[in-house]
Amino acid sequence: MPSRNEYIRAVLPRYLKGTKEEKTRILDELVANTGYHRDYAIWKLRDFQMHPPAEREDRVRKKRARTYGPDCLPALKEIWEFLEYPCGERLQPYLPVIVPKLEQARFLVLAPSVRSKLLQMSISTIDRLLKDCRRVRRRQWQATTKPGTLLKHQIPVRQERWPDNTVPGYAEVDFVAHCGDENVGDYVSTLSFTDIATTWMEHGAIWGKSQARTVQSLETIAKRLPFTLHGLDPDNDGQFINWHLKRWCDGRNIGFTRSRAYRKNDNAHIEQKNWSTVRRVLGYQRIDTSRQWRLMQQLYAGPLRDWQNFFQPTLKLKEKIRRGARVTKRHDVGRTPYQRVLESPAVPGENKAWLRVYYASLDPVAIKRQMDAILKTISTINRSRARPLLHRGS
């Protein structure tokens, strides 16, 4: 802008002294060099003629009134914390859905002006208002996967990307170990399951490293799905690469593939959710008592399942463009797994009707309280230094 103003001051004397043809030519050059609209360029020349530089510098500019002021931040922060700190891309499309639910549960009481502003906020406005409220949590990593080699020739490797037209029922699975600081003894592991097409999440709590219990947990998960299971794609962990799971998949006509060894990006859909759906909920504490195990089973079959699938919007990558060292990613509009299931034409109508009825009966505030109560009990058992349950055998 300063360079454009200096250029206008330089051409202004010639413009004032020039003939009509010279003024037209000077105006054409001004529009071409500055990119201004022709009418705006004429206004700028007239303004510079009427107001000298000293007067223009001392001019008090009128500030634009803020549309989203401090009155919006408390309500927005409360919703953001209730939904467990989602980004603006996930939160903004979901506000028209979650705000009526929270008002119905008497969790929020909003003034009409604040409510209308919340529903009209853009993604950048949400991120700007919540900038000072964001928290960064450190991530810790501890690998407990041991490769299985028995069936590597019988189970094909999937190397290509999942196609965009993948129907619901093709999923990636992985284990999250709750061993704490020491990977010794028996402890509980979480079997994570995510559907590629709808991002539907399921979890199962497994005691120890039993292959048979892994199959039992997958059997339970398959019964809870709102669609038919068509394919599984785990990593090379021995709890997946075994005859128990191979026979189970073959007997139910379920496709069974595996990722390449030491290539975590082959299972990127499930790897990125191990933190957001398991570690952020249970942390890195050691879970190794029978009571904690039963509480985790209750958590995964009830409140956590409903919370993540019906009230947690997710993003799916639409395209990734690389320009040199810069990578630009574009995602779709944030929607919950429940909404994605309803949008899928491959899910039967009767399943969608049942989901709508079930969703109408859910209270997100009650679900969150029930989930927090179970998590508090699990942590209390650890703080009381309960004696671990020693379990032998498979």
Instruction: Take residue 361 and report the two structure tokens written for it.
Output: 């009966």
Name the percent of the chain lying above pLDDT 70.
88
For 273-308, how does the pLDDT look when each residue is reduced to its tens digit (9 = 90+)?
Answer: 888 889 889 988 899 888 999 999 999 999 999 999
Residue 138's pLDDT is what?
36
**What's the confidence (pLDDT) of residue 199?**
92
Query: What are 74-81's contacts with CB under 8 Å, separation 24+?
Result: 75/108, 75/110, 75/114, 75/118, 76/118, 76/121, 76/126, 76/129, 76/130, 77/130, 77/133, 78/108, 79/108, 79/118, 80/130, 80/133
- Specify the pLDDT at position 59: 66
pLDDT recorded at residue 137: 38
For domain 170-383, give the fold: Nucleotidyltransferase; domain 5 (3.30.420)
How far apart are alpha carbons 337 and 346 in whole angstroms?
Answer: 14
What would the DSSP string read from start to end of 199-215?
Answer: --EEEEEEETT-HHHHH
> What is the C-alpha to C-alpha distance for residues 174 and 16, in angstroms, rounded to an integer?
75
Residues 356 and 346: their CA atoms lie apart, in Å, by 16
pLDDT for the residue numbered 305? 94
CA dihedral sign, ordered 327, 330, 331, 333: positive
Q: Where are the domains of the chain?
A: 2-57, 73-133, 170-383
339 CB burial (10 A radius; 0-12, 13-18, 19+): buried
**Model pLDDT, residue 153:** 60
Q: Where are the beta strands (DSSP E) in the chain?
A: 170-177, 188-195, 201-207, 231-233, 255-256, 317-323, 326-331
CA 258 to chain CA mean position, Å:
25
Structure confidence at residue 50 (pLDDT): 82
Residues of the chain with pLDDT under 50: 136-143, 147, 390, 392-394
Q: Give the count of beta carbons closer than 10 Å to the beta carbon of residue 361.
A: 6
Q: What is the pLDDT of residue 55?
A: 62
HSE-up (13 A, CA, CB side) for residue 175? 30
Number of H helices, E strands in the chain: 18, 7
CA neighbor of 271 nearest in space, from 263, 260, 283 = 263
pLDDT for 392 equals 44
